[in-house]
Structure 1
Amino acid sequence: MRADEAVIDEAAQWLALLQSGEVSLAERAAFEAWRVADPRHQQIIEQMGGGLNLLRNPTLRGLPRNSLLHSLNAPSSRRRFISGSLSVLGIALLAGLLGRRFGWLPEAGELATGTGERRDFVLADGSALTLNARSRVVPFFDSDQRLLALRSGELLVDVAKDPSRPFVVETEHGRMRALGTRFLVQQGAQATRLVMLHSQVEVVTASGARQVVTAGQSALFNGAGMLSVERSKGHESAWLQGRLEVRDRPLSEVIDSLRTYRRGVLHLSPEVAGLRLSGLYPLDDSDRTLQLLERSLPIRVIWHNPYWVSVEPRPVL
Structure 2
Amino acid sequence: MTREILAEASVWVTRLHSHSRSRAMERECLAWQAQSAAHRLAFERCTDTWQEVGGLTRAQIQAAVSDPPHRAGSWGSRAGHAALALTTLCLAVVFAVILWPGDTYSTGVGEQRVIVLADGSRMTLNTSTETRVRLTDSQRSVTVKHGEALFEVAKDAGRPFVVSVTDSEVVATGTAFLVRSTPPGESAGEAFNVTLIEGQVIVKRAGGAMQSATDAPVVMAPGERLRVGHSAGTLRQGAEQARVDRPQLDRLLAWQRGFAILDDTPLPDAIADMNRYSKVQIALADSTALRSLRISGSYRTGDNEGFAHAVARLHGLVVTPREGGLELSASPADAASIRN
What is the CA-CA distance between 1:275 and the residue it aligns to? 2.5
The one-letter code matched in structure 2 to 1:253 is D
What is the CA-CA distance between 1:116 and the residue it aligns to? 0.9
Task: Select the residue among 233, 236, 245 that pairs with 1:225.
Answer: 236
Give the corresponding residue for 1:146.
Answer: 140
Task: Select the residue among 291, 303, 307 that pairs with 2:309.
Answer: 291
String of CA shifts for 1:208-262, please: whole Å, max 9, x gaps.
Answer: 4311111111111241413111212231111111110111221122211222222
Cα distance in 2 for residues equivalent to 1:274 and 1:193: 24
Task: Select the residue among 176, 186, 189 that pairs with 2:180.
Answer: 186
The answer to which of 271-280 and 155-164 deviates more is 271-280
Cα distance in 1 for residues equivalent to 2:156 and 2:104: 23
**Higher RCO (C-alpha 8 Å, min separation 6):** 1
The TM-score normalised by the length of structure 2 is 0.58
Give the corresponding residue for 1:260.
Answer: 276
1:124 paired to 2:142: no
Q: Is the 8 A contact 1:251 1:275 kept in 2?
A: yes
Give the corresponding residue for 1:156.
Answer: 150
Cα distance in 1 for residues equivalent to 2:216 and 2:291: 32
The one-letter code matched in structure 1 to 2:300 is P
% same residue: 30
The one-letter code matched in structure 2 to 1:276 is R
What is the CA-CA distance between 1:278 and the residue it aligns to? 1.7
Q: For the aligned residues, what is the CA RMSD? A: 2.0
Gaps of at least 5 residues in structure 2 are 1-100, 185-189, 335-340
1:201 paired to 2:201: yes
Give the corresponding residue for 2:19.
Answer: none
Q: Is the 8 A contact 1:173 1:191 kept in 2?
A: no
Give the corresponding residue for 2:68.
Answer: none
Q: Is the 8 A contact 1:243 1:281 kept in 2?
A: yes
Larger radius of gyration: 2
Cα distance in 2 for residues equivalent to 1:129 and 1:191: 21
Q: Is the 8 A contact 2:280 2:304 kept in 1?
A: no
Q: Is the 8 A contact 1:145 1:166 kept in 2?
A: yes
Cα distance in 2 for residues equivalent to 1:312 and 1:108: 46
Greater helix content: 2
Cα distance in 2 for residues equivalent to 1:314 and 1:236: 34
Q: Is the 8 A contact 2:204 2:216 kept in 1?
A: yes
Q: Is the 8 A contact 2:171 2:201 kept in 1?
A: yes
The one-letter code matched in structure 2 to 1:316 is A
Cα distance in 2 for residues equivalent to 1:117 and 1:134: 7
Cα distance in 2 for residues equivalent to 1:255 and 1:205: 31
Give the corresponding residue for 2:221.
Answer: 214
Give the corresponding residue for 2:131.
Answer: 137
Cα distance in 1 for residues equivalent to 2:304 and 2:271: 10
Cα distance in 2 for residues equivalent to 1:280 and 1:159: 29
String of CA shifts for 1:283-313, please: whole Å, max 9, x gaps.
Answer: 03221111111122353221136x3211223
Cα distance in 2 for residues equivalent to 1:122 and 1:286: 31
Gaps of at least 5 residues in structure 1 are 1-106
Cα distance in 1 for residues equivalent to 2:254 and 2:281: 24
**How does 1:235-314 map onto structure 2 within 5 Å?**
235-268=251-284, 269-271=286-288, 272-304=290-322, 307-314=324-331
What is the CA-CA distance between 1:314 and the residue it aligns to? 4.1
Name the CA shift for 1:252/1:122 in 2 (closer, same or farther; >3 Å).
same
Cα distance in 1 for residues equivalent to 2:115 and 2:197: 19
SS of the residue 1:254 aligns to: helix
**How does 1:156-175 map onto structure 2 within 5 Å?**
156-175=150-169
String of CA shifts for 1:133-155, please: whole Å, max 9, x gaps.
Answer: 11111112212211110011101
Q: Is the 8 A contact 1:158 1:182 kept in 2?
A: yes
Cα distance in 1 for residues equivalent to 2:135 and 2:316: 50
Q: Is the 8 A contact 1:181 1:200 kept in 2?
A: yes
Cα distance in 1 for residues equivalent to 2:102 and 2:292: 39
SS of the residue 1:126 aligns to: coil
The one-letter code matched in structure 2 to 1:139 is V
Name the CA shift for 1:275/1:135 in 2 (closer, same or farther; >3 Å).
same
Cα distance in 2 for residues equivalent to 1:296 and 1:314: 15
The one-letter code matched in structure 2 to 1:159 is V
